[in-house]
Chain A
Amino acid sequence: MSNKVSELSMLEAINETLHSEMARDERIVVLGEDVGRNGGVFRATEGLIEKFGESRVVDTPISEAAIAGSAVGLAMAGLVPVAEIQFLGFSYQAMHQIAGQIARLRYRTQSRFESQITIRAPFGGGVRTPELHSDSLEAQFANIPGLKIVLPSTASDAKGLLTSAIRDPDPVLFLEPLRGYRGIRDLVPDEEHIVPLGKANLIKKGDDVVIISWSYQVELSRRVAESLEGEGISAAVLDLRSIVPLDIEAISQIVSHCGRAVVVQEAPETGGFASEIIATINDECFWSLEAPVARVSGFDVPYPVGMLESLYVPDEARIRSAVLKTMENG
């Protein structure tokens, strides 16, 4: 196997992965709104219909519940649906099928049926979308047992994690950061690339404080951590990659090492997944802490319109300020 790599955007990495997985496994069916002729509104599914045909790449009616619900039936028939919800905010219209059916299909049938279903959806702010296109709903889904939630922050991980998601016998919600589609580029292995679900990635080592995050906020956290090097603060960055399963061990190890932690999320503060991380830190390594764990979040308001967006979404300045405050504490 060659070790060749190519520089790809996250979008290109996702598209390439869909191509290679569909070529590998003829059971895979891609379904969603505008995924066929149009190649997806962001071109994530570009070229699939030409290569794999209309029976495997299906433009559905505008019916999120029927996309998610028919995926259950496709899985029951022995196929492997890879569904796209055009924007995560639209998943509310499929919530009863995702939460009430897909996530519990294995449990309620004692594994007679399983949901080998991947649901891809772009989400997250920073690109001034219309309403409901940017909402970060990961914590809402994390409270639904039976659903894995994967959030890549690099193009390489997007390939490795999407490959794992599609092959996973359980349902995976694969969340793609809108800002990262073209804004994130890195070296992606040309050959098959697998990143197991549930393994966090320490993308930057550090000794004084760790910034824990997922998805696009990892990129911002990394920039902050690098800028702090020059100021004598050694900040580590842990990319969770998936919040279900959660790499508790990796969190515990790095927090114990640093003694200080900042958790960064784009979602609203109350009930966000950052709270879960902090509770986990309390359980695992409270006595190694030298300061209270800080969290950087969106605000407890609906995701705002474009002109207010930059006030809402955590940026480098807010992350930096939280890190500095954590360093002063204790």
Chain B
Amino acid sequence: MAKPNDKQLQMILEDMVIARTQAGRLWNLQRQGQVGTIAPIDGHEAAVVGAVHALEPESDWVLPQYREPLGLRRYGPEVLDTFMLYNLGHPAGGHIPDPVKVAPSQISLGASIPHAVGLAWGMSLKNESGVVLVFFGDGASSEGDFYEAGNLAGVLKAPVILFCINNQWAISTPTHLQTAADSFASKAEAFGIPGVTVDGNDPSAVYEAVFNARKRALNGKGPTLIEATVYRLGAHTTADDPTRYVPSDELSAAQEKDPVHAFIKDLTDRDLWSDTKQKEIETVALEIMDDAFEKAKNTPLSANSLMDHCFVSDTSRQLRQRSFLMESMGKSNE
């Protein structure tokens, strides 16, 4: 079905509420100095959760940028578990275990877009049924990788969904300084692929757009560029002070359209949600996060991790460096 049914709507809202609740906890953990820099998901929940609920985790890959992980609960608890390791700065935070089809966060803007195209292309070469959805932002669409990969995707008809979340800001740069194009979706024209603009505050609309793009990709018709328009309700990251540049009236107007609040109201009006349910899910969200954080903090870390996984086996020089490291720590080489 192109439109989510009631059950799916409830699952989408659950995941949105969980993402929002956990984002608040994560922000506090950062402020307490317990985790590193965080890019809050606030305002992106409907776009991220709506999109991944139109995918099949068994067959479809998700390549995030870095703001999305809390919205990827549909792909399993391993995503949050790994994300908490990542937030701690633990090396295992880059290893989302097999067979979860989610790549770790990508710091280089737009750099995962050619990976997504290559992965989708590879899947079709191997006759594997499935699509790849890659998240990136309005700012990343100005990178060369976006144009090179979008162009290649069009030529190859790769089963990929280029999912641009336009949150109006690239740190402090507003969209009108990012592009003179009418929309980010309009850039699809240069790739010879469909470009769709969707209200990223409306999870049903996002679901439908991704559902259709997926169907099209699976039918061999190639990629789709989707622009989901949202408003970044939080800071760019915990290191950012948006009051320096976000006009307060504009932010207030965006808060009126907060996707989580709007969807709660929508489903409550339709008797698909309630205050009790809300409280229950918020409690669950924090329990899950606290568990994940405890597990992350208790994950062993060996000094060898500094040297591990560069190559499949050390070069002779790396072996010496590893020995030097161990000796300087007064420990035997494991």
Which residues of A are at the interface with B, using a C-beta cutoff of 8 A?
A: 29, 55-56, 60-61, 63, 65-66, 68-79, 81, 93, 96-97, 100-101, 106-114, 145-146, 148, 169-170, 198, 244-249
Contacts and interface: CB of A to CB of B under 8 A. Distances in A.
A73 B118 contact: yes
B114 A72 contact: yes
Interface string B86-123: 00000110111110000110001001011111111111
B309 A76 contact: no
Number of contact residues on B: which range applies? 35 or more
Contacts of B92: 110
A79 B316 CA distance: 28
B114 A109 contact: no
B114 A60 contact: no
A106 B310 contact: yes
A100 B108 contact: yes
Given A101-B108, A111-B309, A169-B312, A73 B151 contact: no
A69 B309 contact: no
B191 to A, nearest CB: 11
Interface of B: 91-92, 94-98, 103-104, 108, 111, 113-123, 125-126, 128, 132, 144-145, 148-149, 151-152, 155, 308-312, 315-317
A71 B118 CA distance: 6
Given A70-B121, A73-B118, A249-B316, A79 B126 contact: yes
B328 to A, nearest CB: 17
Given A97-B114, A109-B94, A79 B125 contact: yes
A63 to B, nearest CB: 4
B94 A70 contact: no
A70 B152 contact: yes
Contacts of B311: 106, 146, 148, 170
B155 A72 contact: no
9 contacts: A60-B155, A63-B149, A65-B149, A78-B122, A96-B108, A97-B145, A112-B98, A246-B317, A248-B316
Contact of A66 (B117, B310, B317): B117
A66 B145 contact: yes
A76 B151 contact: no
A245 B125 contact: no
A29 B125 contact: yes
Contacts of A109: 94-95, 103-104, 309
Contacts of A106: 309-312
Contacts of B96: 112
Given A96-B108, A101-B111, A110-B308, A63 B148 contact: yes
A78 B101 CA distance: 13
Nearest to A68: B114
A209 B117 CA distance: 52
Contacts of A72: 114-115, 118
A79 to B, nearest CB: 5
Nearest to A244: B315
Contacts of A78: 122, 126
B95 A110 contact: yes
